[in-house]
Structure 1
Amino acid sequence: MDIVILALVIAVVALAAIAGLVVTGRRKKAVESREPAAPTTAPPAEPQIGEDAETSVEESRRTIDEVGLPDTDVREAPPVVAPPAPEIEIPEPAAGRLVRLRARLSRSQNSLGKGLLTLLSRERLDEETWEEVEDTLLTADVGVAPTQELVEALRERVKVLGTRTPEELRALLRDELVKLVGEDLDRTVHTDTRGTVDRPGVVLVVGVNGTGKTTTTGKLGRVLVADGKSVVLGAADTFRAAAADQLQTWGDRVGARTVRGPEGGDPASVAFDAVKEGTEEGADVVLIDTAGRLHTKTGLMDELGKVKRVVEKHGPVDEVLLVLDATTGQNGLVQARVFAEVVNITGIVLTKLDGTAKGGIVVAVQRELGVPVKLVGLGEGADDLAPFEPGAFVDALIGTE
């Protein structure tokens, strides 16, 4: 019995397998009838060499000249345009400049002259009036000794004059003030070389911080250019970051070259190089701007002395100008004394003279140092530095009729 069952199972399995094969075959034929047969690709031919190689087909070839380049939109770079050179200015002539600036000067200085004329016009000049005259002069920073001299001279002249008209008083006061200021002093800024040394004239500009020293150096360069001289500027103030740039700007405006060194470098070296290059260029004058320094700092003052000694290796310095702020009054005299001990001051530049009524500082500083005021600054304009003229200055003090 078991054998019969086993035979039936085997028969069923065999029939199922035969049926599966028949169905698979039919499906395959149906697919093949629907899809086209893929083309048969022959394998690539092996390359031939030697005698078996096929002869290459000769093709006509173009020369390089016949080959055209593709069209491209190539734009040419714009030409490099150099920045325009700064326009050279023509400075205002130095001669008579203070006379032209008299109105500006008189606005701040008139109080001194008017005060003196008012006092001297009183019918009775007693001791109290003369004390007021002294106080007026001292308040204007004329100084004690010059004030006493002026009062004594005025007393004597008034006693002799007797009756005093306003015109006579003005003429009297003008004469005595001109004498006090010093009409016979040499106020020339010496820019010509002394002796037979073949080099430019050398002007050393010194002063404390904040007096306008670098600006004064630049303006002085304009004054000299206006007088027909060729100028080289030496930027020996290496400690103030903008000093060299500021001085070079002044020089560029009038066509003067500026010699400068690295920031924080040795100022004596810059000063030496400025004179050397000025000599090589055949310049007329070398202006050397030194660093501003406090008169109380011994080390800084010693360094200033070194700058002067190094420059003198080329020959004597022709002019040493001390720049003082007129608004500092008597404190400026203290500064002046210390600078005079370190370098031989030969002239004084008073800046900001238009901003103070204390014009008597001109007299006081000259008496203190024994050297003349040679230049005065009367404003912020480029041509507001003027050669000092005693007559024009006194006329500004006492005003016009």
Structure 2
Amino acid sequence: MVFSLFGKKKTAQEEQNRQSQTPSLPLEPDPAPSSEAFSPEQTRQQPEEVSPTENGLEGPSGARASRGLFLRLRQGLSKTREILTTDVDDLLLGRKLDENLLETLEENLITADLGVESSLAIVDRIRSIRGRVQSAGDLKRILKEEILREMAWEADSESPEPHVHTSPHVLLVVGVNGVGKTTTIGKLAALHVREGKKVILAAGDTFRAAAGEQLALWAERSGASLIRHKDNSDPASVAYDALDAAIARKADLVIVDTAGRLHNKVNLMEELKKIRRTLEKRMPGAPHETLLVLDATTGQNALRQAEIFHEAVGLTGLVLTKLDGTAKGGIVIAVQKHLGLPIRFIGVGEGVEDLQPFDAQAFLDAMF
């Protein structure tokens, strides 16, 4: 539901109470892949590798490509931008930035899911320089500067930087069902294949037949290879075989899909730990990256999910999806600030190009 930045007043204490009552790990089924994107005839368990050009994944280059990506980002953030820019313009319409307006701004930022701590810090810094704010344009510029400062994350010492030169590079992708995890894997595969890389996907969510079928469709579409076992087989075994195949075929990248729901949270985390141990056994240092996919529309609940997964498997980065479906784009700032983990990608639409490497400056430019 689209929120109003000028709705009911919400204090910092109320927001903290709401967060503490939020369920920690909602587990919902993944949506089926769109029938517009794929047809049943495309499904195969062992798709052959095809050229990215044959799949129509070749895009524009240089400045034209950068401009196109920014326009997609701007369009995807339209709900957040419409609320923020409209209300910022209204704040200073014929008025000075006094204490009442600063309190309203604080409420707006909290409601936009920037988080209580970040919202208070931003407003405090604006308060100290409010004499420089003479127009809505001034306020937007200063807001962008202060939000960018909040997003200057400090890397967690327990989360190593990705081994970008390792081949094959092993990427483990985790997340609860319903966040767009399998779709994100498919888009990542498409982007890397388009760059000329040889990609192998591991269908590690063996407990849902739909997950394997969806990944097979994405492998077909992207030109990646797929390693898939029978339903309900050992996910760690699938991951091992995918990495084994990647080494034998001299592949560049292995992306491992994982389950998002077992019959309890403990079993899910133990299964993920087993996959990590199995990959490490086959290739010391693997997985080289562990990305958590979060649904931006879940707001502050995404923070709790990330804490649980980070404690269990040691995350190296985050992917936020469905930003086009929410006006609470501020969750991006809250997640990165709270966890000290980099956001690697954001999803702002249904297309392959709508999964973009995260750039904080571009994100704020598109949001304002």
TM range (shorter): 0.7 to 0.9
Give the structure 2 partner of residue 366 of structure 1: 336
- Correspondence 1:156 to 2:128: yes
Give the secondary structure class of the aligned counterpart of 1:324.
strand
Amino acid across the alignment from 1:308: R
Amino acid across the alignment from 2:184: T
Give deviations 1:256-275, integer Å, cap 9, x for gaps: 10011111000000001111
Task: Report if aligned partners of 1:278, 1:285 keep a CA contact under 8 Å in 2.
Answer: yes
1:332-351 superposed matches below 5 A = 332-351=302-321
- Correspondence 1:108 to 2:79: yes
C-alpha distance in 1, partners of 2:150/2:211?
37
1:61-80 superposed matches below 5 A = none
| 1:109 Cα deviation from its structure 2 partner | 1.2
| 1:390 Cα deviation from its structure 2 partner | 1.1
Give the secondary structure class of the aligned counterpart of 2:231.
coil
C-alpha distance in 2, partners of 1:156/1:270?
56
- Correspondence 1:124 to 2:96: yes
Unaligned runs of 5+ in 2: 1-43
- Correspondence 1:226 to 2:219: no
- Correspondence 1:167 to 2:134: no
Task: Report if aligned partners of 1:98, 1:389 keep a CA contact under 8 Å in 2.
Answer: no
Unaligned runs of 5+ in 1: 1-82
| 1:250 Cα deviation from its structure 2 partner | 1.1
Give the structure 1 partner of residue 292 of structure 2: 322
- Correspondence 1:289 to 2:261: no
Give the structure 1 partner of residue 151 of structure 2: 181
Give deviations 1:81-106, integer Å, cap 9, x for gaps: xx9x8743324469736413133123
Task: Report if aligned partners of 1:235, 1:260 keep a CA contact under 8 Å in 2.
Answer: yes
1:297-308 superposed matches below 5 A = 297-308=265-276
Give the secondary structure class of the aligned counterpart of 1:204.
strand
- Cα RMSD between the aligned structures? 2.7
Give the secondary structure class of the aligned counterpart of 1:386.
strand
C-alpha distance in 1, partners of 2:353/2:163?
19
C-alpha distance in 2, partners of 1:93/1:184?
34
Q: Percent identity?
A: 46
- Correspondence 1:250 to 2:221: no
Moved beyond 4 Å, runs of 4+: 183-186
C-alpha distance in 2, partners of 1:129/1:358?
21
In the superposition, relative to structure 1, how do residues 143 and 209 fare at CA in structure 2: closer, same or farther (>3 Å)?
Answer: same
| 1:209 Cα deviation from its structure 2 partner | 0.9
Give deviations 1:293-325, integer Å, cap 9, x for gaps: 279611111111111111111122111110000
| 1:193 Cα deviation from its structure 2 partner | 4.4
Amino acid across the alignment from 1:232: I
C-alpha distance in 1, partners of 2:200/2:71?
28
- Correspondence 1:201 to 2:179: no
Give the structure 1 partner of residue 362 of structure 2: 392
Amino acid across the alignment from 2:80: Q
Give the secondary structure class of the aligned counterpart of 1:290.
coil
Give the structure 1 partner of residue 14 of structure 2: none
| 1:122 Cα deviation from its structure 2 partner | 5.4
C-alpha distance in 2, partners of 1:154/1:249?
49
C-alpha distance in 2, partners of 1:295/1:324?
20
| 1:176 Cα deviation from its structure 2 partner | 1.8
C-alpha distance in 1, partners of 2:319/2:85?
22
In the superposition, relative to structure 1, how do residues 129 and 296 fare at CA in structure 2: closer, same or farther (>3 Å)?
Answer: farther
Instruction: Choose 1 or 2 for highest CA Rg.
Output: 1
Give the secondary structure class of the aligned counterpart of 2:315.
coil
Give the structure 1 partner of residue 232 of structure 2: 264
Give the structure 2 partner of residue 310 of structure 1: 278
C-alpha distance in 1, partners of 2:144/2:248?
48
C-alpha distance in 2, partners of 1:255/1:387?
21
C-alpha distance in 1, partners of 2:163/2:71?
24
| 1:150 Cα deviation from its structure 2 partner | 0.7
Instruction: Give me the TM-score of the superposition, normalised by structure 1.
Output: 0.71
C-alpha distance in 2, partners of 1:183/1:100?
26
Question: Which is bigger in relative contact order (C-alpha 8 A, separation at least 6)?
Answer: 2
